[in-house]
């Protein structure tokens, strides 16, 4: 079986799904945010400003900044209701329509009677968005919190802004526990760039699509035809009866993870191919692959269901 990111037709497009501008709490105008990502070789971004009343519920119109080789997807970071720790929900919604109805969320504190996070996520998905649970470690998300977002397509497993700002960038535990419960989720790496610290160009998705266009990219994201990276590149992943065959750019480690403690690592120098035996994964219905290069940068496949 070949992973969908490599069996689907098209080519890979590099994009960032989580970005902020002066429309909320970022420091750069939307046009400059788009210019910088295009200049850095990105094929697309989603400008996802905070969708709260204090910023007039912005869904940034980035259509004017699209060019022949660079596109944008409209979106926002949604907020409403309280998590178990009493703090406000953060939900990433990429592909929102401009007429998406705002929640009653004036600022960054939850208020009584407002729409819950799970309800808001469900509305976003129904409106056509790709929905991700944002920065679980940063948020102090509990497993019950994560479980409640039934509308999620993905978990944000690496957030570069959270890595730079507070060293809480991860969502892997949240993801793996939900996978073990049978939730068919994907994962994504993002910047969450605000540009007031080195929070940009550190984590992205590589989306396999036939066109660098918002509708094609969204379809690929929703079906899981992508992988996430800080630098290393996957070339192919093939799942056989007894092993996983991975081809990639030069790395020092190829690690396969599965349910519970199941994991096998292959280490070396300038590895571009690895065959990882599946003996440890006999009881695991899913697995995912991590690449680590000599600079300790990583890439992550989406979970593969056996």
Domain ranges of the chain: 4-229, 234-305
Res. 189: pLDDT tops 90: yes
Cross-strand pairs, 237: 246
What percentage of the chain exceeds 70 in pLDDT? 100
Nearest to 153 by CA among 180, 118, 177, 129: 129
Report the alpha-carbon distance of residue 295 to residue 40 in Å, rounded.
Answer: 20
Select 4-229's CATH number: 3.40.640.10, 3.10.110.10, 3.30.1490.190, 3.20.20.140.
Answer: 3.20.20.140
Supply the DSSP symbol for 115.
P
Is the Cα dihedral 223, 97, 189, 8 positive or negative? positive
**In 3-state terms, the chain is what percent helix, strand and coil (to 5)?**
25, 35, 45
- Count the neighbouring beta carbons within 10 Å of the beta carbon of residue 84: 12
Res. 46: pLDDT tops 90: yes
Residues 13, 42 contacting (CB under 8 angstroms)? no
Confidence band of 1 (pLDDT split at 50, 70, 90): confident
Report the alpha-carbon distance of residue 88 to residue 80 in Å, rounded.
Answer: 6
Nearest to 25 by CA among 205, 203, 199, 204: 199
Element (H, E) at 292: strand 286-292
243-297 pLDDT tens trace: 999 999 999 999 999 999 999 999 999 999 999 999 999 999 999 999 999 999 9
Residues 169, 139 contacting (CB under 8 angstroms)? no
Res. 66: pLDDT tops 90: yes
Bridging pattern class, strands 71-78 and 91-94 = antiparallel
Report the alpha-carbon distance of residue 242 to residue 129 in Å, rounded.
Answer: 37
Structure tokens given for 295: 């600079």
111-149 pLDDT tens trace: 999 999 999 999 999 999 999 999 999 999 999 999 999
Confidence band of 61 (pLDDT split at 50, 70, 90): very high
3-41 pLDDT tens trace: 999 999 999 999 999 999 999 999 999 999 999 999 999
Report the alpha-carbon distance of residue 174 to residue 142 in Å, rounded.
Answer: 8
Separation of first and last alpha carbons in the chain: 9
Structure tokens given for 139: 């948020």
Report the alpha-carbon distance of residue 86 to residue 66 in Å, rounded.
Answer: 39
What class is the 234-305 domain?
mainly beta
Element (H, E) at 164: helix 160-166
């Amino acid at each position: 079986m070949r992973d969908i990111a490599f069996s689907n037709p098209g080519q890979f497009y590099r994009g960032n799904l989580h970005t902020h501008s002066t429309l909320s709490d970022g420091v750069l105008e939307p046009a400059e945010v788009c210019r910088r990502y295009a200049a850095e070789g990105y094929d697309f971004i989603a400008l996802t400003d905070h969708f709260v009343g204090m910023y007039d519920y912005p869904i940034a119109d980035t259509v004017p900044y699209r060019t022949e080789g660079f596109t944008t997807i409209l979106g926002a970071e949604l907020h409403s209701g309280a998590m178990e720790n009493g703090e406000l929900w953060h939900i990433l919604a990429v592909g929102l329509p401009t007429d998406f109805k705002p929640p009653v969320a004036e600022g960054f504190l939850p208020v009584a009677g407002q729409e819950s996070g799970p309800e808001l996520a469900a509305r976003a998905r129904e409106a056509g968005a790709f929905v991700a649970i944002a920065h679980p470690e940063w948020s102090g998300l509990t497993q019950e919190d994560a479980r409640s977002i039934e509308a999620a397509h993905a978990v944000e497993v690496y957030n570069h802004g959270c890595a730079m700002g507070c060293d809480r960038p991860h969502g892997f535990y949240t993801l793996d526990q939900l996978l073990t419960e049978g939730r068919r989720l994907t994962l994504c790496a993002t910047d969450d760039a605000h540009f007031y610290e080195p929070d940009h160009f550190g984590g992205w998705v590589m989306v396999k699509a036939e066109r660098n266009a918002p509708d094609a990219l969204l379809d690929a994201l929703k079906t899981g035809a992508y992988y996430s990276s800080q630098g290393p590149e996957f070339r192919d992943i093939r799942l056989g009866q007894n092993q996983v065959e991975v081809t990639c750019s030069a790395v020092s480690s190829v690690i396969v993870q599965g349910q519970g403690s199941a994991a096998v690592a292959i280490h070396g120098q300038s590895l571009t191919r690895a065959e990882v035996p599946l003996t440890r994964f006999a009881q695991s219905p899913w697995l995912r692959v991590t690449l680590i290069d000599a600079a300790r940068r990583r890439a992550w496949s989406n979970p593969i269901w056996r």
